[in-house]
Amino acid sequence: MRANPSTGHKARLAAVQDAAEHTSLGLWDHARNVVRHRWWALGGFVLLATPMAAITLLTTPVFFATTRLLLHEEVEQRVGVAAGNQPALKSGLDPLTQSQLVTSRALVKDVVAALRLWQEPEFSQAVAAATDDAARADRLIDPFLDRLFVTLVPDSQVIAIGVEARDPALAAKAANAVARRYIERDRESRFQAASASAEWLSKRLAEQREQVAASEQALQTYRATQDAMSLLDRQNIVGQKLGDLNSSVTKAKTDRILRETQYQQIQGIKDDPVALESHPLIAANAFVQSLKAQGAELTRQDAQLSERLGPKHPDRIQIAASLESVQARLRAEVGKIVSGIETDYQAAMTQEASLTRALNSQKFEASTLDRKGVEYAALEREAVSARGVYDALLQQTREAALSSGVQKSTARVVDEAEPPAAPVRPRRGQGLAAAALLGLIGAASAVIAREYLRRKVYSAMDLERRLGISVLTLVPSATPPEGNTPGSLSPLPAEAFRRLRATLMLELGAADQPGSVLVVTSAAPGDGKTFVSSHLAVALAAAHQRVVLIDADLRRPRLHTMFDRKRTPGLSDVLLARRGAAEVLRPAATPGLVVVTSGIPTAEASELLSLQSFRSFIESLRSDFDWIVVDSPPVMAVTDAAVLAREASAVLFVTSAERTSLEAVEAALKVLDDAGARVVGAVLNRAPVSKEAFYYSRYYRPEYNTYLTGSDDPSAKAPTNAS
């Protein structure tokens, strides 16, 4: 049965990749790791938890007391002024600015001196070199500032003043002292500002008093010299006259323009009687219209008479005389109208010129009065302004005098500090909890580091997760008791090999494939492959299987010592054709088990195992035995195992807990894969299940020791699995 050379390697690579994608372990797996590496976990816990716990328990407690101040804007009402006439004045306060004033060095020095903090034990060392109280206070400013904390309560006008101290009573007393001193300094600064303001106002008031007197004197002098007493009445009369004259001049100018227009029209048609008579001013005259009517009637009558009478007729002569008389009168009347228009035009021009002269004269007089009024108004305004400023200064001086007597602070204490019941640090409950948490982190880190940084096989998970090879069973450590009989098994290892037997029979022991060849090998010497192969053969024989166990380690054979047989004749004799196959088959104490020892050791083992004679020997055994178990040399020591694996149905790989390195196992599996071997699984030998029962509980339970009180062989004893 030859396996595909690439099948096992690809399957193992896929298993390793799948394990890498699912590196997270279950809670139970983590618990087993912690139990397995409990001393590392304890060391990591102590390493990280001890400093934190020591700091928490050994640090001197520090207490924190807080006083809260409310900043309020002071509303001032002007003295002697009605509230409805004068708006209230507010002094704006910036909480951030006020918090900086609380931490001023001058204020802190006053507090230190008032409390005499150099007498407190926690401050006494800082002033050891000072000789007087002033020097001690100066030296304690910075230490006290380091313990003073001022914060702003969000969305409010409240300032929180906190002080740290080892003594809770001192912390509360210091916080209250800072608040009181801040209020006192605020009141003192306001008093000093009010006093300085009152003094300045007094000086300005005296100066303004002199200015008022000078301005009023200048106004009085101007009144006397310029007759300013009746200036206002005169200005009113002149103004009224000026208005009337202005209206009259406008009217006269309009009339003159009208007369001038009529005059110019008449002058243009003066020599044309017909045009004159048709002019609207002449044609509209009633007398002219009457004369025209008479003339028209006489003309009509003359026209009627002319039809039947001659020009010399008396009637026509009379009518002609009457018509001439009417036309003469008409011409005279037109002349009078034209003369009247000329006269009206001349009169309008004269009237306009007269009114214009009167208007100009009145304007000059008004200008003179206005100039005097401007000078008078300026002097009067100056006097009134000086008087107003003087009155305002007088009022402010009185208010400043009243304010300097009583000053209110813009801050008040809303919550005095009280001695705190618990320290702000260290908080031992939280500190110890943090120490425990750090310890757990350290323990977990130590376990993870121990689990993932170690380079040896310690558990089945190492083989399954890291190398992708399944573990068929774990063989606990076994020691040979007195009266050890070769080929016998102790109860607990026997159960392990029964489990291995059942797995192999399911994998390789099919009825239609008799004579399964199973090569047992390991990565390095001392992993226990001979122990596993011999005990597996005994377990298979105990299940009524025909088993032949072959020692194929032709360099350092050990199988003959396990069954107390002679080394020769053996396998090397058959391969060298010195003996026949039947001569090297030696029955063991277990029924159904036959042992083939190694024979004479040789350095040409690889060449012998590669001969056709070895294949023929194996084929000759297939028909007589159900299982052919071959104990091969270590893979990494020589190439014999790779040669044997080519002729095997499967390869069983043996590792030793806490001894075999992961690199060696990985390299050995790579060699077997390259040789085309079918690695059916691995056996973890020397698993310390009694020492670390919890870690190996998924494979073995303590109940096995009480349940498995016997074995297949009543006289079974436990040989060692160190081979």
Helix 95-102 crosses helix 168-225 at what angle (to 10 degrees)?
Answer: 120
Q: Cα–Cα distances in Å, from 233 out to 237, 238, 384? A: 6, 9, 21
Which pLDDT belongs to residue 468? 83
Q: What pLDDT sits at residue 100?
A: 85
Proportion of the chain above pLDDT 70, given as a percent: 76
For each of the domains in the chain, give its residue range(s) and CATH number, in order of start: 231-383 (1.10.287), 456-471+511-697 (3.40.50.300)
pLDDT (0 to 100) of residue 402:
63
Burial of 377 (0-12, 13-18, 19+ CB in 10 A): exposed
CA distance 651 to 472: 12
Q: Is the pLDDT of residue 23 over 50?
A: no
Collect contacts of 142-147 with beta carbons under 8 A, ≥24 apart.
Answer: 144/108, 144/111, 144/112, 144/117, 144/174, 145/103, 145/105, 145/108, 147/174
Sole residue written with tokens 């609207």: 280
pLDDT at 233 over 80: no
Q: Region 367-387: what's the mean pLDDT?
A: 71
Q: Which of 66-80, 228-242, 536-550 has the lowest mean pLDDT?
A: 228-242
Most confident by average pLDDT, 340-349, 484-493, 670-679, 708-717: 670-679
The whole-number pLDDT of residue 506 equals: 86
Residues 335, 341 contacting (CB under 8 angstroms): no
Give the three-state DSSP class for 22: coil
Token code pair at residue 580: 């026949």
Lowest mean pLDDT among 8-12, 190-194, 327-331: 8-12
What is the model's pLDDT at position 247?
Answer: 83
The pLDDT confidence band at residue 494, using thresholds 50, 70 and 90, is confident
Cα separation, 315 vs 406, in Å, equals 129
How does pLDDT run across 695-704, given as a tens digit for each residue?
A: 555 555 555 5
* Residue 67 pLDDT exceeds 90: yes
Taking residues 313-342, what's their average pLDDT?
A: 78
Cβ neighbours of 532 (radius 10 Å): 29
- Note the pTM of the prediction, 2 decimals: 0.48
Q: Tell me what pLDDT residue 721 has.
A: 56
Q: How confident is the model at residue 316, as a pLDDT?
A: 79
- Secondary structure (3-state) at 637: coil
Residues 112-162: tens digit of each pLDDT: 989 888 888 888 888 877 778 888 888 888 988 998 999 988 888 899 999
* Helix, strand, coil percentages for the chain (3-state, nearest 5): 60, 10, 30
Mean pLDDT of the residues in the chain: 77
- Whether the per-residue pLDDT at 713 is higher than 50: the answer is no
CB 172 within 8 A of CB 180: no
Residue 292 falls in which region: left (phi positive, over 0), alpha (psi -120 to 50) or beta: alpha
- The pLDDT of residue 65 is 92
Q: For residue 720, how many other CB atoms are within 10 A of its CB?
A: 15
User: Percent of the chain having pLDDT more than 90?
Assistant: 8
pLDDT for the residue 514: 67
Burial readout 210-236 (b: 16 or more C-beta within 10 A, e: otherwise)? ebbeebbeebeebeeeeebeebeebee
Of 44-58, 203-217, 253-267, 360-374, minimum mean pLDDT range: 360-374
Task: Give the whole-angstrom CA distance, residue 353 versus residue 248.
Answer: 11
Whether residue 6 has pLDDT greater than 50: no
pLDDT of residue 401: 65
Instruction: Give the pLDDT score at 228.
Output: 55
Highest mean pLDDT among 381-390, 422-431, 575-584, 652-661: 652-661
| Chain segment 249-289, per-residue pLDDT in tens | 788 788 778 777 767 767 767 666 766 666 676 767 777 77
| Residue 688: per-residue pLDDT | 75
pLDDT at 652: 93
Interatomic CA distance for residues 433 and 73, integer angstroms: 47
pLDDT reading at 670 higher than 80: yes
- Report, as an integer, the average pLDDT of 325-339: 76
Q: How confident is the model at residue 80 (pLDDT cuts 50, 70, 90)?
A: very low
Residue 332 is predicted with a pLDDT of: 79
Rounded-to-integer distance, Cα 640 and Cα 552, Å: 8
Residue 339 CA to residue 281 CA, distance in Å, equals 12
Could you give the angle at the alpha carbon of 452 between the alpha carbons of 447 and 454, nearest 5°?
Answer: 95
**pLDDT (0 to 100) of residue 177:** 92
Q: Which strands, in side-by-side order, build the sheet including 547-551? A: 471-476, 679-687, 650-656, 516-522, 627-631, 547-551, 593-596, 586-587
Query: Predicted confidence band at 199 (pLDDT cuts at 50, 70, 90)?
Result: confident
How much is the average pLDDT of 529-533? 90
